[in-house]
A and B are shown apart, each in its own frame.
Chain A
Amino acid sequence: MAERVPTVPITIDGVEMEATAGETVLQCARRHGVDIPSLCFLEGLSPVGGCRLCVVEVAEDLRLRPACATTVTSDMEVTTQSSRLRSYRRSILELLFAEGNHVCAVCVSNGACELQDVAVRCGMDHVRYELQAPRRRVDASHPRYVFDPNRCILCTRCVRVCDEIEGAHVWDVAHRGHGAELVTDLHRPWGESTSCTWCGKCVASCPTGALSHQGSSVGEMRHTPDMIAWLVAARRREWTEREARR
């Protein structure tokens, strides 16, 4: 018999629903089919609330809250869609597109890119802001993978998956602000990394075309970010122990 999980009543966009105690607003919304856009969040990794796309309004709270890192409380009233939130999300997406060199037409992830998908969902038909056109070097030194920082949105999924799941901590962020960039080891080429295990979880987690398999051509790259949540569940032995109890 299934264990009873305590629930709390919450309201999302005017719809009353049962949230599982301890889960986040984002998890609850997604379980109930409510679409809150997000990029840095990945099930299985610790939330950092960096992309700010999932910000929602919580009644009686003046500040917007990142749904990925806000735990549900009883009788919480959440608004995920408002004209303000929509315009903010679109602006944040435009800022992301303007700061990198996101040329969908020549990207390995074209047609299977979370950034591109979120832009479509948020109604971004053009970018109002000045294109920053940064000059960033591609690191293709790894025998199996390629890192193209032009397509990186600094979501840090790769940093977290490598640190929290693989335990290698190959990736980290160097410098700050508009100069922030991902580095491998102590800013050495990825191919020379002595800590990389070639496990590929960073590539699997990447929401854009920033990390890809060597040899991928335009539109060929398929990431598998969902595998991280499976892996975490497997590590916790959720299936095997359930099997044993049966």
Chain B
Amino acid sequence: MTRPRLATVWLGGCSGCHMSLLDTDEWLFELAAAADLVYSPIVDVKEFPHDVDVCLVEGAVANEDNLEFARLVRERSAIVVSFGDCAVSGNVTAMRNPLGDPEGILRRVYVDAPDRDAQVPHAPGIVPLLLAQVRPLHQVIDVDAFVPGCPAPAGRIREAIEALLAGRRPPTTGESIRFG
């Protein structure tokens, strides 16, 4: 039997959920034995591969690259999991939403605040444009399971991945779904 192909993706988030994944400590050895990690910020693969069985997506959809990448992930993965509060609810990444127009926010950060070299970064094709509103992952692609938490605690991540690799859904009740 072929080993399940696992991927993890980092969109608009702080990478804390990936840190938390690393906090599963020695269980990572068991994971490495049970599945192939075919794409992740912590492995050196440049392109998101085809035929992924399970993909954990950290972060909200905040810019055009995130949006495009989320759609690619959906196309190439059998199961997509919203991994952590940013992916599940927008969370801290989405706290700019009430402020409205991203232009104003960029000006505030890059023009008003700095002491020198004030300019809004503009490099088409290199610096992705911000979306008008930050969206949770399931608002832009279909999502099969949700693992909330900020960050999702290590135990909860382990529990979810073990379930998914065994062909089950991660728990949808009890403390496993607590936000924050």
**Binding between chains A and B:** yes
- Give the CA-CA distance A72 to B175 in the complex, in Å: 33
Contact call A111/B173, Cβ cutoff below 8 A: no
A120 & B178 in contact (Cβ 8 Å cutoff)? yes
A136: chain B residues at CB < 8 Å are 98
Question: Which of B62-70, B87-95, B113-121 participates in binding chain A?
Answer: B87-95
Chain A interface size band reads 20 to 34
- Measured CB to CB, the closest approach of chain A to B59, in angstroms, equals 13
| Residues in B whose Cβ lies below 8 Å from that of A111 | 180
**Residues B180 and A133 in contact, CB atoms below 8 Å apart:** no
| Residues on B with beta carbons closer than 8 Å to the beta carbon of A103 | 89, 91-92, 94-95
Using A104-B85, A104-B150, A105-B91 as known contacts, say yes or no to A134 and B179 having CB atoms under 8 A apart: no
Q: Judging by beta carbons under 8 Å apart, are B92 and A133 in contact?
A: no
- Distance A134 CA – B100 CA, assembled complex (angstroms): 10
Residues in chain A near residue B146, CB distance under 8 A = 125-126
Contact A123 B98 (CB under 8 A): no
User: Known contacts A131-B97, A133-B133; is A116 also within 8 Å of B180 by CB?
Assistant: yes
Tell me, in angstroms, the Cα distance from A197 to B98 when the chains sit together.
33
Choice from B95, B99, B138, B150 contacting A126 with Cβ under 8 Å: B138
Residues 101-125 of chain A: 1 if any B CB is under 8 Å from the residue's CB, otherwise 0?
A: 1011111001100001001100111
Chain A, residues 37-69, CB within 8 Å of chain B (1/0): the string is 000000000000000000000000000000000
Interchain nearest-CB distance for B84 vs A (Å): 10
Residues on the B chain within 8 Å of A116, using CB: 178-180
Interface contact B180-A124, CB-CB below 8 Å: no
Enumerate chain B interface residues (CB-CB to A < 8 A): 82, 85, 88-92, 94-95, 97-100, 133, 136, 138-139, 143, 146, 148, 150, 172-175, 177-180
A-B contact pairs, 19 of them (CB 8 A): A97-B89, A101-B95, A104-B180, A105-B92, A105-B150, A105-B179, A106-B92, A120-B175, A124-B177, A125-B172, A126-B136, A126-B138, A126-B146, A130-B139, A133-B94, A133-B98, A133-B133, A134-B98, A135-B99
Given pairs A125-B177, A135-B99, 4 additional interface contacts (CB within 8 A): A104-B150, A125-B172, A127-B89, A136-B98
Which 6 A/B pairs are nearest by Cβ-Cβ distance?
A104-B180, A105-B150, A133-B97, A104-B179, A125-B177, A110-B180
